[in-house]
Amino acid sequence: MKTQDLVSLLASDVAPVDRRILAKRFSWALLLGALGATLLMALWFGVRPDLGRVAATPLFWFKLAFPLALASASLWACTRLSRPGVPLGQAGWALALPIAVVWGVAALMVLAAPESQRVALLLGQTWRVCPVNIAGLSIPAFMAVFWAIRGLAPTQLRRAGAAGGLLAGATATLAYCLHCPEMGVPFWAIWYLLGMLIPTLLGALLGPYLLRW
């Protein structure tokens, strides 16, 4: 058989590539992950009873903006790292920006507070359980996001796993905000971020094993 005949034979049954496959997979992953995290939050912890009142305050929306910004940036990172040979690029700066903003605001608030109140600002009332709660709520999104990434063609498996873990953690944090009573920026800057870092580190560890194709 000639080489050209062999190439024609191999290419004869190739199906066209769906150009929207990346958007489809991540849309399903985010939908299932967000629904799963919200359902678990409602069943395990319950929605805070004063949600209607606090939702009318700008501080509540700033609280939501932190994990939402990280979710958007980590989604961008995931879509890049899910393709072979595509670098993280500007998505790295997008990941760092919301953290820098929240840390900056938190530092100003702690420095402006009386010394006797600084520890309370940092610890809040739920620091012992907050990161663990977020990590637990991230399980549905973690599974869904890893399904989305694995079905594409990642080559930087550890970095893709970390980005997927952060996306899962940020999605879980958005759901957790509907329960969490903490309204202090310094608290979010430490304990929300720590809760999101748990699935991020887990994703980096498991990425080379779960995302191999």
pLDDT tens profile 16-51 = 555 688 899 999 999 999 999 999 999 999 999 999
C-alpha distance across the termini of the chain, in Å = 31
The pLDDT of 124-142, averaged and rounded, is 97
Residue 38 domain flag: yes
Does residue 5 register a pLDDT over 80?
no
State the pLDDT confidence band at 8, using cuts at 50, 70 and 90: low
- Answer whether residue 21 is part of any domain: no
- As for how many domains the chain has, the answer is 1
Confidence bin at 213 (pLDDT 50/70/90): confident
Query: Cβ neighbours of residue 198 under 8 Å, at least 6 residues apart?
Result: 131, 132, 134, 135, 138, 169
Distance CA 171, CA 100 (A): 19
Per the structure block, which two tokens stand in for 161? 């796993």
What is the reported pLDDT for 85? 85
Look at residue 15 and tell me if it is in a domain. no
Residue 13 included in any domain: no
pLDDT at residue 190 greater than cutoff 60: yes
Q: Is 92 part of any domain?
A: yes
Read off the tokens for 95: 């990941």
Measure Cα distances from 198 to 76, 123, 124, 129 in Å.
20, 18, 20, 13
Q: Quote the pLDDT of residue 38.
A: 98
Whether the pLDDT of residue 105 is over 50: the answer is yes
In-domain check, residue 24? no
Position 2 scores a pLDDT of 53
Give the range of the structural domain holding residue 47, as residue numbers without chain letter: 33-210
